[in-house]
Amino acid sequence: MGVLRDSGSTKFNLDSLGQSGAPGDDLLDAVRETAASEYEVFGEIGRSPDGTVAYLARDRHDGKLVALRLSRSPQPGSEYLLEVAKQLDASVPAPAGACPRCGAPLRSWGRFCTQCGFDQWTGSGGKGGLGGQSAEELLAAVKQATAGKFEILGQMSRAQGGGVVYFAREIATGKVEALRLKQEKDQGYSIGLTNVLQRALDPPDQDPRKPRRPK
């Protein structure tokens, strides 16, 4: 077992890794270098106003997705603290976005909008899936609906409101996205991105709002 997995956190200094201390790709490279033996780091999934960054990663030991939370030491210098989060909660920075109903800013993995109560994550899939589908069937449907546009990386459980969040990598850009999955009144599903719920995916030969249940 590795230091980061065993203790849940580790510290590193950009200078010791040969990094310049600049934000962006240099910081991501530093996280990848620090966690390389224990986690495959895919990319950034959220950033808080105080500069804390969350990266999506896969545990090389058990294959499960985790969030790696990176924060800078309050002391002067270039030391950072890297921590492992096994579920999405208030401590994990989320993508900036707006509520589709009231337009209130959203920076949380919570299920409901804190302003109007809009259920923004309905249908994210619990242990028993949704709408008569098992969790495995629902995941297969998401993969089918996003084929050619996104590579589904997996899912993480959500602390606030239950259920899971699906993570995907956009094939064209390599950017990591969290997918919103909502069940509609007709029992179909709509899929969008965390920051733009209305952004429709367009899989071939299928209504982009309704991933079909696998046969």
What pLDDT, on a 0 to 100 scale, did the predictor assign at position 127? 46
Give mean pLDDT in consecutive 10-residue pieces for the chain, a chain of 215 residues. Answer: 86 68 72 95 93 96 96 81 95 86 84 83 50 70 84 88 85 89 60 47 42 39
Q: Which of 20, 33, 30 is nearest to 53 (CA)?
A: 30
What pLDDT, on a 0 to 100 scale, did the predictor assign at position 179? 83
pTM of the model: 0.79
The answer to whether the beta carbons of residues 60 and 38 sit under 8 Å apart is yes
The answer to whether the beta carbons of residues 145 and 203 sit under 8 Å apart is yes
Buried residues in 13-30 as b, exposed as e (16+ CB within 10 A)? ebeeeebeeeeeeebbeb
What pLDDT, on a 0 to 100 scale, did the predictor assign at position 192? 60
Distance CA 24, CA 109 (A): 23
What pLDDT, on a 0 to 100 scale, did the predictor assign at position 2? 72
- What backbone torsions phi and psi does residue 209 show, to the nearest 5 degrees? -85, -10
- Domain extents in the chain: 3-85, 101-193
Looking at CATH, the fold of the domain delimited by 3-85 is given as Phosphorylase Kinase; domain 1 (3.30.200)
3-state secondary structure 31-81: HHHHHCCCEEEEEEEEECCCCCEEEEEEECCCCCEEEEEEEECCCCCCEEE
